[in-house]
Chains A and B, each alone.
Chain A
Amino acid sequence: MKRLSLLAAFVMAVVIMLPGALRAEEYVIDTKKSHAFIEFKISHLGFSWILGRFNTFEGEFTFNEEDPAKSKVSVTIDTASVDTNLAERDKHLRSDEFLDVKKYPKANFKSTSIKLTGEDTAVIKGDFTLRGVTREIELNAKHIGAGKDPWGGFRRGFEGVTTFALHDYDMTYNLGPASKEIEIFISFEGLKKK
């Protein structure tokens, strides 16, 4: 009797979880082989752009084929990995005048809702925590493609853009009137979990 009820519980658990597991595919963002980039762009005096990126981060997402709006994504960034191709500038960016990486070693994005805006586009809302401040941001996202890779895996890729003011995250260092906002571009490929 005891065994039977255990078996019943197990079967029920499988029955309940299976459809969800089938519908929501789980992916890990492929940072190992670097098919994922978090880049940013900020004006230099209004004359040109400074481009930079975060070299170290990790993330995962679920993708719901039937109802993509139910998908979820989360990314965690090592703020110390900021790279603008100039060691002295990066050192300054890590200091407490900008990212304050000693105090806030991680930045984090977690989606809260997804609104489809076209066949392969969506607005992803989520909480972005940077420098200890959490605010809602909106990513304009695009599904780029998905399919089997030549090495036996299944991949799916997206890109997204968002803009926010440095001031929103308590970065008040004066870089001049043209450099108050930063644009973030993220592009990543997820490797489907087996």
Chain B
Amino acid sequence: MGQILGENVKSFVANALHWISAAVFVSTLSLGLYMTSLEFMHPWYNSAPDFHKSTGIAVFFLVAIRSVWRFFFIEPAPIPGGDWKRSVDPILHRGFYFLFFGITFCGYLIPTADGRGVEFFGLFEVPALFSYKEPQEEIAGTLHLSLVFLTLCLALLHTRINIRRCASKFKSLFKLSS
């Protein structure tokens, strides 16, 4: 299967998925914090959470596609050098998949606790599969936020580890284009 696509295509798609997921993740996170601070009378009180759920589900799909891509086509290149970063980063990568699935799954468990499905940008509805009522939305809500914070901390570490490599890539990009 790996032979069908050229190396360039494989890494371009993997990179695109990485950066789109990261952008949608950060937007969803900011929207999550913003919407829970909105007052009842605010014009976005109802629409913001609907949008949050949709972009959150989008994160789920993006990460799912990237994990499939990684499995069949290309794994992130290891960090050059041999210090702690080289051993920690691959663990972080794998951890992020679990965390993203955990966050989106817990988010999904909040509104579906009463048996209602969640809409994805009004295109289709994800049905409610687990509806254990009263404690579900509370436990899921607490986990949802805790996992978000954990992910945020690890993402900062991940950035710290990769910033130099990333920056030099950017520089070479600019050099090529100018």
A: residues with CB less than 8 A from B are 55, 80-81, 83, 85-88, 90-91, 94, 173-176
- By the criterion CB–CB under 8 Å, are B39 and A87 in contact? no
Q: Give A63 Cβ to nearest chain B Cβ, in Å.
A: 32
**When chains A and B are docked, how far (Å) is the Cα of A83 from the Cα of B114?**
10
**When chains A and B are docked, how far (Å) is the Cα of A127 from the Cα of B134?**
28
- By the criterion CB–CB under 8 Å, are B138 and A91 in contact? yes
Q: List residues 31-56 of chain B with CB under 8 A from any CB of chain A.
A: 39-41, 49
**When chains A and B are docked, how far (Å) is the Cα of A151 from the Cα of B138?**
39
Known: A80-B134, A90-B137, A91-B137. 9 other contacts (CB 8 A): A55-B134, A85-B114, A86-B114, A87-B110, A87-B111, A174-B39, A174-B40, A174-B41, A176-B40
Q: Which residues does chain B contribute within 8 Å of A85, judged by CB atoms? A: 114
**When chains A and B are docked, how far (Å) is the Cα of A88 from the Cα of B113?**
9
Q: Give A98 Cβ to nearest chain B Cβ, in Å.
A: 11
Q: Give A89 Cβ to nearest chain B Cβ, in Å.
A: 9
* Given the contacts A173-B40, A174-B39, A175-B40, A88 and B137 also touching, CB distance less than 8 Å: yes
Cβ of B141 under 8 Å from chain A: yes
Smallest CB-CB separation from B49: which chain A residue?
A88
Q: List residues 105-137 of chain B with CB under 8 A from any CB of chain A.
A: 110-114, 116, 133-134, 136-137
Contact partner of B110 (CB less than 8 A), chosen from A91, A94, A173, A174, is: A91
Q: Which residues does chain A contribute within 8 Å of B136, judged by CB atoms? A: 87
Q: Which residues does chain A contribute within 8 Å of B49, judged by CB atoms? A: 88
**When chains A and B are docked, how far (Å) is the Cα of A87 from the Cα of B29?**
21
Q: Which residues does chain B contribute within 8 Å of A90, judged by CB atoms? A: 114, 134, 137
Contact with A along B123-160 (1 / 0, CB 8 A): 00000000001101110010000000000000000000
Q: Which residues does chain A contribute within 8 Å of B134, judged by CB atoms? A: 55, 80-81, 83, 90
- By the criterion CB–CB under 8 Å, are B40 and A88 in contact? no
Smallest CB-CB separation from B111: which chain A residue?
A88
Q: Give B85 Cβ to nearest chain A Cβ, in Å.
A: 40
Q: Which residues does chain B contribute within 8 Å of A88, judged by CB atoms? A: 49, 110-111, 137
**When chains A and B are docked, how far (Å) is the Cα of A160 from the Cα of B41?**
32
**When chains A and B are docked, how far (Å) is the Cα of A88 from the Cα of B110?**
7
- By the criterion CB–CB under 8 Å, are A87 and B114 in contact? yes
Q: Which residues does chain A contribute within 8 Å of B113, judged by CB atoms? A: 87
- By the criterion CB–CB under 8 Å, are A176 and B111 in contact? no
**When chains A and B are docked, how far (Å) is the Cα of A173 from the Cα of B45?**
14
Q: Which residues does chain B contribute within 8 Å of A55, judged by CB atoms? A: 134
**When chains A and B are docked, how far (Å) is the Cα of A91 from the Cα of B56?**
19
Q: Which residues does chain B contribute within 8 Å of A86, judged by CB atoms? A: 114, 116
Smallest CB-CB separation from B128: which chain A residue?
A87
Contact with A along B52-78 (1 / 0, CB 8 A): 000000000000000000000000000
